[in-house]
Structure 1
Amino acid sequence: MEHTKYFNLRGTKIFVKTIGSGTPIIFLHGGPGGEHRFFLPHMEPLSQDFRLIFYDQRCGMSEKPSNENSYSLEDEVETLEELRMNLGLEKLNLIGESWGSMLALLYAVKYTNNVNKILLNAAVGASVEGFNEFEKELFSRFTDKDKERVNEILPKLETGEAVKNELFDVIDPYYVYHVESLKRKTKTTSNPDVNRIMWREIEEHYDPRNELHKLENIPISIVQGEKDLITPIKLEDLLLRFLPKAEFTVLLECGHWSVVEQ
């Protein structure tokens, strides 16, 4: 059973898709500025046993606020809390992918009593250091030819002479272990304005490290691709040491988009 609906959350129409029945799981997509379709159809088999809840965070199929101030870490956390209340859920089971893993942690340290379990996939870390490391590692893996292409495209994006898809054509192969995996990725949109604004927010405000001790009684699983841009070894310093009770699994022959690959 599939159901779609718009919820008015914090003055914005937020797109929500529900598939299946049973224990609910809420999915937090990456980006920032991505959308729920990244998880599909890969997660659909879970709907045989669970109620899967996907939503777009002020991007994708959700309404775009006219005021840029509506994009903030705090607003995304509060939107998720309003979604919980609108769905009538006492506690949330969260799956956060990439940037979504960061949102999951921010929500959990603020609304600890409203969280049942957390799975972090393709995690980035517990501070802006992880985001910076992600970008640094991505550029270090580029071939010389791809570095040239990116340096040509980036200025053109500012002037409108190039579109985001041209950049993705260069970058996407670095997000997977096997390039053939990209054939399985659902075509999705990315909002560059949301990405730009939220990057600034992360640089200035993302640092839950001193609050992660609040989560010691919440079951947390972390799944990381062996060849993720944030490698399992790097994740030890960026996140795992702050969550010593978390269960950690490394997926072999897998990159950052483990939802697609594995």
Structure 2
Amino acid sequence: MDRNASHKSAVQYLYPPVDPFDQRVMEVPGGHRIYVEQCGDPGGIPVIVLHGGPGGGCSPAMRRYFDPAEYRIVLFDQRGCGRSRPHAGVEGNTTWDLVADIERIRAELGIERWMVFGGSWGATLALIYAQAHPERAAYLALRGVFLMTQAELQWFYGGGAAQFFPDQWERFSALIPADERGDMIGAYHRRLFSGDSALETRYARAWTAWENALASISHEGPGGDSPADYARAFARLESHYFANAGFLEEDGQILRDTGLISHIPGTVVQGRYDMICPPASAWALSERWSRGELKLIGMAGHALSEPGISAELVRTTKAVARQAERLGF
């Protein structure tokens, strides 16, 4: 890692902005339409970028972690968010629907194997996809690992992170009556699906502000109000997935099934001071994943935009490009 990375802007490490050469909307089962785009070299190393949340959507900056002369960069907005429709919709919206969507995209684009790049919930989805389709993932690049366990949810919504950010937690928890605070995910979920648009927006913004406030080590103060449409999709989808334990068979399923990806190489880039997804999860994964290399980034939190994290991710994509033939792309 660049020792000076924490003192620079993440943008300094990224490739220049690039426009898509292909944009499309795919009809998928369950009444959803998902936005898909491709950037870079149509004949390059294929990579699919999995955004966080659930419900975060893609941004143009996500294209810039890859050399457009080397990579065929595929991004899509997962069900219910970004440019996909219906917006904030949760019917037919589970982890397994998203895994199936990734496979539909791969098949439609005629890609045999690809690099899977994801952070936070995107790392969760990358791991579950690779475990379900290990023959399709040539390399995993993960950031801010989240394993969708009850321990992680309890840390963030049950008072763990609150020990470090009591002021932000007060803003988040004060909207919920004291007798409901033992289950903050459930309490917010009921309000986010109340059917009252103004109420849903109020609680969606509070939910999103709590997460935003803790995302970056370089940011202090309230998370601020997100745009209503973004916050509503983000909060509704997160609470939907979290209330349903990620639609997994059992708690700890991802670690249980690590053997399914033992042959797949990868890199885990983890902020040492990540308050949303603490490093214990990345460490536990790397202990079980023989070909997964853990890169702990000092003075970095959770966000993709952390300078040290961006520097290491770009370093990873450059290294993969140099080894493309050996990795079987």
Distance in 2 of aligned mates of 1:118 and 1:219: 7
Q: Residue 199 of structure 1: SS of its match in structure 2?
A: helix
Whether contact under 8 Å (1:124, 1:134) holds in the other structure is: no
Q: Residue 244 of structure 2: SS of its match in structure 1?
A: helix
Distance in 2 of aligned mates of 1:224 and 1:66: 29
- What residue in structure 2 maps to residue 177 of structure 1? 217
Q: Residue 178 of structure 1: SS of its match in structure 2?
A: coil
Structure 1 residues 20, 56: CA separation in 2 closer, same or farther (over 3 Å shift)? same
- What residue in structure 2 maps to residue 196 of structure 1? 239
- What residue in structure 2 maps to residue 49 of structure 1? 70
Tell me which moved more, 119-128 or 97-106. Answer: 119-128
- What residue in structure 1 maps to residue 39 of structure 2? 19
Alignment pair present for 1:122 and 2:162: no
Give the Å deviation of 1:126: 6.3
Identical positions, percent: 22
Structure 1 residues 7, 232: CA separation in 2 closer, same or farther (over 3 Å shift)? same
- What residue in structure 1 maps to residue 162 of structure 2? 139
Give the Å deviation of 1:68: 3.9
Whether contact under 8 Å (1:35, 1:57) holds in the other structure is: yes
Whether contact under 8 Å (2:283, 2:294) holds in the other structure is: no
- What residue in structure 2 maps to residue 71 of structure 1? 93
Q: CA RMSD in A?
A: 3.0
Give the Å deviation of 1:98: 0.5
Structure 1 residues 104, 62: CA separation in 2 closer, same or farther (over 3 Å shift)? same
Distance in 1 of aligned mates of 2:212 and 2:148: 24
Whether contact under 8 Å (1:91, 1:114) holds in the other structure is: yes
Structure 1 residues 65, 151: CA separation in 2 closer, same or farther (over 3 Å shift)? closer
Give the letter for the 1:83 counterpart.
Answer: I
Distance in 1 of aligned mates of 2:108 and 2:52: 23
Give the letter for the 1:252 counterpart.
Answer: G
Alignment pair present for 1:223 and 2:269: yes
Alignment pair present for 1:109 and 2:131: yes
Distance in 1 of aligned mates of 2:219 and 2:297: 16
Give the Å deviation of 1:234: 5.0
Alignment pair present for 1:9 and 2:9: no
Whether contact under 8 Å (1:125, 1:131) holds in the other structure is: no
Structure 1 residues 150, 200: CA separation in 2 closer, same or farther (over 3 Å shift)? closer
Q: Which structure 1 segments of 5+ residues have no match?
A: none
Structure 1 residues 167, 233: CA separation in 2 closer, same or farther (over 3 Å shift)? closer
Give the Å deviation of 1:23: 1.1
Whether contact under 8 Å (1:224, 1:258) holds in the other structure is: no
Distance in 2 of aligned mates of 1:49 and 1:134: 38
Give the Å deviation of 1:164: 2.5
Give the Å deviation of 1:218: 0.7
Give the Å deviation of 1:173: 2.7
Provide the TM-score with structure 1 as the length reference: 0.84
Distance in 2 of aligned mates of 1:23 and 1:94: 11
Distance in 1 of aligned mates of 2:101 and 2:236: 19
Structure 1 residues 115, 71: CA separation in 2 closer, same or farther (over 3 Å shift)? same
Give the letter for the 1:98 counterpart.
Answer: S
Give the Å deviation of 1:89: 0.5
Whether contact under 8 Å (1:225, 1:258) holds in the other structure is: no
| Aligned positions of 1:145-156 closer than 5 A | 145-154=167-176
Q: Which structure 2 segments of 5+ residues have no match?
A: 1-18, 178-186, 311-329
Q: What does the per-residue CA deviation read over 1:27-63, in whole Å, with 9 as the maximum and x for residues that have no partner?
A: 11111111012xx325425224312211111122101
Distance in 1 of aligned mates of 2:122 and 2:203: 24
Distance in 2 of aligned mates of 1:260 and 1:15: 27
Whether contact under 8 Å (1:73, 1:202) holds in the other structure is: no
Give the letter for the 1:87 counterpart.
Answer: L
Provide the TM-score with structure 2 as the length reference: 0.68
Q: What does the per-residue CA deviation read over 1:158-214, in whole Å, with 9 as the maximum and x for residues that have no partner?
A: 26442533443454231101018x99xx98924132222211332552623332102
- What residue in structure 2 maps to residue 232 of structure 1? 279
